[in-house]
Structure 1
Amino acid sequence: MQKLTAAALLALTLPGLGLAATLEENAKTVLEFGPRVTGSPANEQARAYFEQQFKALGYQTRRETFTYPRFDDLGSDVRAGEQTLKGFALQNSGGGELTAAAVRVPGVGTLEDFAAVDVRGKIAVVARGQVTFSQKAAAALSAGATGLIIVNNQAGELRGALGDQTQLPVLGVSQQVGAALKDGQRLILGVRVRRADVQGVNLVAFKAGVTQPEMLFGGHLDSVQGAPGANDNLSGSLAVLELARRAAGTPLSQRSYFTLFDGEEDGLLGSRDFVKANAPIVKQLKAMFNLDMVGIDAEPLTLGGDAALMAAAGRVSKVQLNASAPGGSDHVPFREAGVPALFFHRGLDANYHQPGDILLDEALVRGAVEVALKVADEVLSAAPAQ
């Protein structure tokens, strides 16, 4: 007979619950799906898996869909001689494949820099820095270039966005790729892009009869192209599920929503849609806890956000508190709607938004969960159940 894990035994002891997997099993399973880009099969596989796990813990679930236009890089590169060199189309770039000579533009790509060389009918190669991507593209287009390659001025690949849509194909490349592009060399630039509507799906788990939660625990499920997203943000998704597991059978489960947001990487779109679509619920929340990148200890676990919530955290834990902690995650729309919110974060690790984001430490995830439970108890103990 197969030996049951501690988590499985706990699940079986709670009335009406099925057999839930351990945190480690959940991490392994979801990572095998691959990058969870919103609208991708892997994204849906991961959501369906989490949905199954919430139900095994005795929760009901609902899906909330939203649609938005998105720009996708379908695989862009530049060929120089026998080499095919990887790059990334800048958001709002034009698309196409063209063959032309390379022209190294001096300086940083101002109008004056482009005026110093002849780029008409050619592919301009310019360094990143000082001038915005959009200004470089506009200057290149004005000077008659048929394509633009922007070379990073720091280590790593270059991903970015043009403020305005342009017809010019614009590729971002690393310093190493940039060094391989010689002045006058014949290049084949392939900027392969797609603009289409994407459907995002938020997953909400709750106990039967809970229509007005006081707490919302959230994290985003999606990752970026090419990144399996172990730390960003499978770690936070696992923490939300673990919070639901720990809360099952306790009063906390009757006062909470557990939500996995979609479309965070495209601009916090899932959390923004949730706030808009659930205005009456959001208005009554006492707190929103957002867990994002809590599986790698790049920095000590840091909590940032609402002053009263940070004060509560300081009373029950020894975590680092930072009122000015990074704000670009799913707690932001809630704060903008007037909801006290707390951001759980361990800093940007070396594999942030990279193919190497394949590792997470389950003990660190559990550590974040422990802190979240303590702070939630401190917050709710001061407020009578609704």
Structure 2
Amino acid sequence: MRFTLRKGAGIAIATAALVLPLASALPAAADPDLTLLAHTVTAPGVKKHLQKLQQIANANGGTRAAGTPGFTASRDYVAGQLKKAGYKVTIQPFDFPFFEEHGTATFQRISPNPRVYTPTPPDGSSVGEFATMTYSGAGDVTGQLQNVDLVLPPSADPSSTSGCEASDFAGFTAGNIALLQRGTCPFQVKAENAQAAGAAGAVIFNEGQEGRTDTLQGTLGAPTVTIPVVGTSFAVGNDLAGTAGTVVRLKTDTTSEVRPTENIIADTKWGDPNKVVQLGAHLDSVLAGPGINDNGSGSAAILEIASKLAKIPTKNKLRFSFWSAEELNLLGSTHYVSVLTPAEQAKIKLYLNFDMIASTNYALKIYDGDDSDAEGAPAGPPGSDEIEKLFEKYFNVLRQAHNGTDFDGRSDYGPFIDAGIPAGGLFTGAEGIKTAEEQTQFGGTAGVAYDSCYHQACDTTANINDKALALNTGAIATAAVVYAFSRDLPGPDVRPATLARTAKAKPAATDVQGRLVG
């Protein structure tokens, strides 16, 4: 098929030439008018939603992050579109730990030998000698540093328990600033113990072994402390620890609190309620920007597809999900799966996830359901391999190159595959670097990030690759139709009660966004 892209106007994403070769998966008697569907799901329709999300961000401080007015307006827009289309829409509330750093922190040695340390700014655009810990409290404090159970020089292997036990603070002088060393327990434990001992603030420095010397950019995991907490490099901490009576100033300007937010769940009015085909994308952005590729692109695509499928009676029930607080550790999808009963989980026959489907320097990546790429993460639950093959067939029909990508736990499929639900989806790359082979396959520029505006203010409607958006939305529309009418959905008829796997082969000391927790 010829694939024609008109700049600015967008294109029809799928045509009969794309969809009909996959229609063999459908029972003939239930085959809907795929040609009509193919011509009605269009890139301009998706981009209209993206433009609306950009307008919402523009009107709300440049962000659509969970817990902000920008997310509330995004929620209302999406829910309104779904209700207008005729879906049964559920707004699912939950509370989550919100964090925002309002201004660049200050850390300086007052005496002896005064020195101002280089900060890491809130947007993370550079890495300085120290960084505010996520969920740090706010304050402007000056006090004497007090070493807490440090191991200097460091042991050969990570083993420091600095600040891990309340007994480490025996004799700690209230009002001092605790100097702590990274080690064997979470940063949250260290900070909570320091606060309980009366510390006015806490400085946690890297432990010192190979690979543990750089500036700590970590998270406390939850808003449980009110004192300022920063992470530093080993060099800074080691230097500070060596001089008794050192006085420092520590200033952080943050909001760290529990806030409400909501997921949006939309069900078709027809289809077998015991055979649910669920599609999802996270609706929230990061605080730093409007999040149009990450993840307005996935949200807008499934919203447009939902609007076009709304009036078509399907054999299986379709469910469209728009998650909140994904950027803070998959909190929305995790909450959703956690409150499902085993019977409700069993009704969800597969989950399709779409996160960043239009990166400017894109590669077309399909979640590796069978672990055929063998790149570290395990295969998805049984049936995930079939989903991968459907997307592969779609791109093969187009003679379009594609690659596998691991289920690495960094998006909202994680809680579903942990529950044993077959999953799949598409991705075009984030902060990772495009390879020379991918340049040959997809064009673009090798040696450059797939999305150079990842988690930044420049993630606007200008940060969308129209061809990637078109190809992926066509694939999503195709999968939605195939599974909406299929008599034989992926995976076993009876799912195992438990699943002996983890969502991500990731270091235990990081959260799913890669922030250190200990």
TM-score tier, shorter chain, comes to 0.7 to 0.9
Identity %: 25
Mapped pair 1:291 → 2:354: yes
1:51-78, Cα deviation, whole Å (9 max, x unpaired): 233345x232423323225242353522
CA 1:199 to 1:140, structure 2 compared with 1: closer, same or farther past 3 Å?
Answer: closer
Query: 1:62 maps to which residue?
Result: 89
Q: Residue 290 of structure 1: CA displacement?
A: 0.7
Query: 2:47 maps to which residue?
Result: 24
1:86-143, Cα deviation, whole Å (9 max, x unpaired): 4564345444331246799977795789x9xxx9765567897998635765897799
Give secondary structure in 1 for the equivalent of 2:47: helix
Q: Letter of the 1:353 partner, please give it.
A: H
- Maintained 8 Å contact 2:201/2:250: no
CA 1:24 to 1:320, structure 2 compared with 1: closer, same or farther past 3 Å?
Answer: same
Query: 1:365 maps to which residue?
Result: 469
- Maintained 8 Å contact 2:137/2:229: yes
1:325 equivalent among 407, 424, 436:
407
2:65 equivalent among 26, 32, 37:
37
More off after superposition, 218-227 vs 264-273: 264-273
1:322-344, Cα deviation, whole Å (9 max, x unpaired): 4x332232222222333211132
TM-score (norm 2): 0.56
Query: 1:204 maps to which residue?
Result: 265
Query: 2:457 maps to which residue?
Result: 355
Query: 1:300 maps to which residue?
Result: 364
1:257-308, Cα deviation, whole Å (9 max, x unpaired): 2221223233333223333555455422332101112221454323234122
Mapped pair 1:148 → 2:202: yes
1:161 equivalent among 191, 199, 220:
220
1:181-201, Cα deviation, whole Å (9 max, x unpaired): 9x96753413534333x3222
TM-score (norm 1): 0.72
Counterpart CA distance in 1 for 2:190 and 2:197 is: 11
CA 1:263 to 1:247, structure 2 compared with 1: closer, same or farther past 3 Å?
Answer: same
Give secondary structure in 2 for the equivalent of 1:205: strand
Counterpart CA distance in 1 for 2:487 and 2:107 is: 63
Q: Letter of the 1:45 partner, please give it.
A: A
Aligned residues: 367
Counterpart CA distance in 2 for 1:356 and 1:125 is: 37
Q: Letter of the 2:325 partner, please give it.
A: G
Give secondary structure in 1 for the equivalent of 2:51: helix
Counterpart CA distance in 2 for 1:355 and 1:159 is: 22
Q: Letter of the 1:202 partner, please give it.
A: N
More off after superposition, 88-97 vs 104-113: 104-113
More off after superposition, 274-283 vs 230-239: 274-283
Alignment of 1:200-239 (within 5 A): 200-210=261-271, 212=273, 214-239=276-301
Query: 2:140 maps to which residue?
Result: 97
- Maintained 8 Å contact 2:417/2:423: yes
CA 1:253 to 1:369, structure 2 compared with 1: closer, same or farther past 3 Å?
Answer: farther
Q: Residue 49 of structure 1: CA displacement?
A: 1.4
Query: 1:345 maps to which residue?
Result: 427
Counterpart CA distance in 1 for 2:458 and 2:317 is: 38
RMSD: 4.7
More off after superposition, 29-38 vs 66-75: 66-75
Counterpart CA distance in 2 for 1:210 and 1:66 is: 26
Counterpart CA distance in 1 for 2:92 and 2:486 is: 34
- Maintained 8 Å contact 1:207/1:253: no
Unaligned runs of 5+ in 1: 8-12
Counterpart CA distance in 2 for 1:221 and 1:362 is: 20
1:336 equivalent among 418, 428, 433:
418
Query: 2:23 maps to which residue?
Result: none
Mapped pair 1:78 → 2:101: no
CA 1:203 to 1:83, structure 2 compared with 1: closer, same or farther past 3 Å?
Answer: same
- Maintained 8 Å contact 2:47/2:300: no
- Maintained 8 Å contact 2:283/2:296: yes
Give secondary structure in 1 for the equivalent of 2:348: coil
Q: Letter of the 1:31 partner, please give it.
A: Q
Query: 1:10 maps to which residue?
Result: none
Counterpart CA distance in 2 for 1:40 and 1:281 is: 31
Q: Letter of the 1:48 partner, please give it.
A: D
Counterpart CA distance in 1 for 2:63 and 2:418 is: 29
Q: Residue 46 of structure 1: CA displacement?
A: 0.7
Counterpart CA distance in 2 for 1:247 and 1:91 is: 41
Counterpart CA distance in 2 for 1:244 and 1:321 is: 26
Give secondary structure in 2 for the equivalent of 1:317: helix
CA 1:67 to 1:250, structure 2 compared with 1: closer, same or farther past 3 Å?
Answer: closer
Unaligned runs of 5+ in 2: 1-8, 13-35, 109-114, 123-130, 207-211, 369-379, 397-401, 432-451, 490-518
Counterpart CA distance in 2 for 1:107 and 1:230 is: 47
Give secondary structure in 2 for the equivalent of 1:64: strand
Counterpart CA distance in 1 for 2:226 and 2:310 is: 53
